[in-house]
Structure 1
Amino acid sequence: MPILETTNLSTDVVALDKAQCITAGAALHERYAAADPFPHIVLDDFVDADVLRRLAAEWPETSPDRTYYDRSQERLKYEWQPHDVKTPGLRAFLAEMNAEPMVRFIESLTGIKKLIADPYYVGAGLHETKRGGHLGVHADFNIHKGMDLLRRVNLLIYLNDDWLPEWNGDLELWSTDMKERRLSVPPKLGRAVIFNTDLDSFHGVPDVIACPPERSRRSIALYYYTSPVDGLANVPKRTTVFRPRPGTADKPDREVARRHFVNDWVPPALLRALKRH
């Protein structure tokens, strides 16, 4: 039975029950909070597999003019936000993942109160990585600039039926000091991974995807935020920070590191003056 039960209102719409979501999240809280290397959980059969197969059938085509990430740290990775998606099932599902029942589930699971779903789906939505692509190990951006919110939790849901181990594509969770991989999670259909997004929550899909050309690695990503009582003035602002794995040829993102150093150490008045010139 799925972790979260859905009500099939039509062939295109599913709905979650708020009370059931709160109960399910609370039952898993201790397991989540005690997880290593940072609070997280891997849940099989998160949502009904038939629902996800129906959504996978609606997945948008990657047209030749569609932009994607193509650099050392992330390659052949595509994203779609709801406004890019024309099919009703996927749009409705993305909206349901941002609705109150899901937010209450995430709150009960993580113990983080007053979570806020992102109506803009910044960096979230549908994710697809093609053969030959990868996503280096990283910690996520921490500030939602449009709403001045602090990012707290990621939810990833996989839509890959019959995914083979030799195709790679595992999500890796690394120790907070980046010395050791602690967990590898194959992206199988119906599996969800939920984790806290702190500045040292290092994760990624660093091994090059080796699936057949007609296949790709697909997931749905949702991010949840809070509004700190004291605001964001004392919060270090970070874009996505990539870290090389020990003993590999992974390349660090030196431009981002330089930008963070400048923002942290150059006096604000001087920084504003430099940006004007």
Structure 2
Amino acid sequence: MSDASALPLVAPDVAAAADAVRARFTSARPFAHCVIDGFFDDAFANALLREFPAFARGDHRNEHGEAGGKSVVEGIRGLGDAWRALDDCVQSPAFLDLVGRMTGIPGLLYDRDYFGGGSHDNRDGQSLDVHVDFNHHPATGWHRRLNLIVYLNHAWQADWGGALELHRDPRDPANNEVASVLPLFNRCVIFETTEHSWHGFPEIHLPAGRSDLSRKSVALYFYTRERHAGQTAPRHSTVYVDRPLPAHLQPGHVLDADDVAALHELLARRDQHNLRLYRELEGLQARLDQSTIGRLAGLARRAAGRLRHTRG
């Protein structure tokens, strides 16, 4: 069982409240999640922020290979002493046990590659369309089970956008249920990764003169080797839901320049999502073609061998 002495980087009251956190996690709506303020020791959280990488240091290409407003560094051990200490902490049995107790998911596995995780830096104008995450680790095949995010923003106002949103069903806006979480400093959000754990955040709108700010976070993903059959699905990448039309676009409304710009953006996002899917299908088809060619070549070699044996 984890305790505060085994986890010096985690705030002592967090480990002590693990069972209470689990009760909140399992009963939360729209799906299993919990919010824990003051997750890390405060001095350690500030050390992570001081060593947070410059935007240009990370990978700031989007899923379509274009320069974007989000920068990610997966190799966190190279970011400084605090980040090396974080890496040591989150792979320790004590930390994995603590997160397992808080969520009721035993046997959690640390991802040494931080695939898709690490430091996340989102600039003004950036958003994240509602989605469910890839469900298997691309290298190990492990089942993805939990997202654990710790925010590192000392000043963040609700009207700046960028709040994490957890959705029940974004494909049914009339009956959707949304929980919103501001990305405040040293606030931790843990949520279960399932085929229905829809999440994202609306566009960031920083105030004039504050372009120095950005939405900073640490993203940790945890896995298990096995998962209940009723919770599994065929392997897939990230699945996005395109945003609905703005609510004010109703019959009789006269479009203005902002409306037209919003429609252009929605269409561009839809085109980007479709292009990504087309590229994935092309890759799958290429691998299928190679596999088919390989099987046919193998059959031809075996047939030729049998023919030579018959003639001999």
Fold shared per TM-score above 0.5: yes
Question: Does the Cα contact within 8 Å between 1:174 and 1:203 map onto a contact in 2?
Answer: yes
Question: Does the Cα contact within 8 Å between 2:143 and 2:226 map onto a contact in 1?
Answer: yes
Deviates more, 1:193-202 or 1:25-34: 25-34
Q: CA deviation at 1:77?
A: 0.7
Question: Does the Cα contact within 8 Å between 2:168 and 2:178 map onto a contact in 1?
Answer: yes
Matched residues in 1 for 2:203 and 2:142: separation? 32
Q: How many residues get paired? A: 262
> Could you list the per-position Cα deviations for residues 15-69 of structure 1 after superposition, in whole angstroms to 9, with x for gaps in the alignment?
4599x73x53222212111111110011112223332122101111223x75313
Query: Which of the pair has more CA radius of gyration?
Result: 2
Alignment of 1:1-277 (within 5 A): 14-16=8-10, 21=15, 23-63=16-56, 66-70=58-62, 75-82=68-75, 85-178=78-171, 179=173, 180-210=176-206, 212-228=210-226, 235-248=233-246, 250=266, 251-252=269-270, 253-257=273-277, 272-273=291-292
Matched residues in 2 for 1:151 and 1:48: separation? 27
Question: Does the Cα contact within 8 Å between 1:121 and 1:223 map onto a contact in 2?
Answer: yes
Q: CA deviation at 1:204?
A: 0.8
| TM-score, scaled relative to structure 2 | 0.72
Q: CA deviation at 1:71?
A: 6.5
Matched residues in 1 for 2:5 and 2:53: separation? 23
More helix by share: 2
Q: Structure 1 163/208 Cα, relative in aligned 2: closer, same or farther at 3 Å?
A: closer
Q: CA deviation at 1:246?
A: 2.6
| TM-score, scaled relative to structure 1 | 0.80
Residue of structure 2 equivalent to 1:11:
none
SS of the residue aligned with 1:76? strand
> Could you list the per-position Cα deviations for residues 99-141 of structure 1 after superposition, in whole angstroms to 9, with x for gaps in the alignment?
2222112211211111111111111111101122222111111
In angstroms, what is the RMSD of aligned CA positions? 3.5
Question: Does the Cα contact within 8 Å between 2:30 and 2:177 map onto a contact in 1?
Answer: no
Deviates more, 1:239-248 or 1:135-144: 239-248
Matched residues in 1 for 2:211 and 2:156: separation? 13
More strand by share: 1
Q: Structure 1 124/61 Cα, relative in aligned 2: closer, same or farther at 3 Å?
A: same
Question: Does the Cα contact within 8 Å between 1:74 and 1:135 map onto a contact in 2?
Answer: no
Q: CA deviation at 1:88?
A: 0.9
SS of the residue aligned with 1:68? strand
Seq. identity, %: 28
